[in-house]
């Protein structure tokens, strides 16, 4: 049931952007290329979830870069609800978000757009890192709740 629903979401997405229909492959995954961002879409049967995953790029893990990434993950202050990660012994910065497999299409499209926008933002931030404004992460969350 969940695979069928996810394939319906992907078909709706393809139709919305004027592309030929596509769906998950036999492994339950699909690679999308949106605005020069590669997004891996994968069905997670055990969690009944839909993972969005994107490699952001390889970077030296300087204290400045590490600080930016850690700050962004605090209460999702700079990730729009996604999680930034760096695999162990790697320089590859990644972005990941898990959605419920039964998400409706409007929310799926919104989440996918937010995810891609976040990946684009982080690609740019990591090209020219700056120190985050000294603000508690909960202030960002409170702003989002009031919006």
Confidence (pTM):
0.83
* 127: confidence class by pLDDT, cuts 50, 70, 90: confident
- Two structure tokens written together for 119: 């990946």
CA atoms within 13 A on the CB side of 36: 5
Backbone angles phi, psi at 32, to 5 degrees: -115, 145
Is the Cβ–Cβ distance between 74 and 111 less than 8 Å? no
Strand order in the sheet with 37-44: 29-34, 37-44, 49-58, 92-100, 83-85
Q: Give the number of residues written for the chain.
A: 147
* 88: confidence class by pLDDT, cuts 50, 70, 90: confident
Q: Could you report the per-residue pLDDT of 19-57, keeping only the tens digit for each?
A: 999 999 999 999 999 999 999 999 999 999 999 999 999
Range scoring the smallest mean pLDDT among 58-62, 72-76, 79-83, 132-136: 132-136
The closest of 55, 61, 29 to 115, measured between CA atoms, is 55
Q: For the chain, list the domains and their CATH numbers.
A: 2-60+83-130 (3.30.1460.10)
Average pLDDT score over residue span 54-71: 90
- Two structure tokens written together for 111: 């989440």
């Amino acid at each position: 049931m969940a695979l069928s629903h996810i394939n319906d979401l992907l078909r709706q997405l393809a139709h919305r952007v004027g592309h030929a229909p596509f769906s998950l492959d036999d492994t339950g995954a699909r690679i999308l290329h949106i605005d020069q961002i590669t997004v891996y879409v994968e069905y997670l049967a055990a969690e009944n979830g839909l993972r969005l995953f994107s490699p952001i790029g390889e970077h030296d893990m300087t204290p400045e870069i590490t600080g930016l990434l850690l700050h962004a993950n605090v209460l999702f202050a700079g990730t729009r609800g996604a999680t930034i990660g760096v695999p162990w012994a790697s320089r590859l910065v990644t972005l990941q978000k898990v959605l419920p497999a039964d998400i409706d299409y409007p929310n799926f499209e919104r989440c996918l757009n937010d995810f891609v926008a976040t990946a684009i933002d982080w690609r740019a931030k990591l090209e020219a890192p700056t120190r985050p404004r000294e603000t508690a992460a909960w202030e960002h969350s409170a702003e989002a709740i009031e919006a």
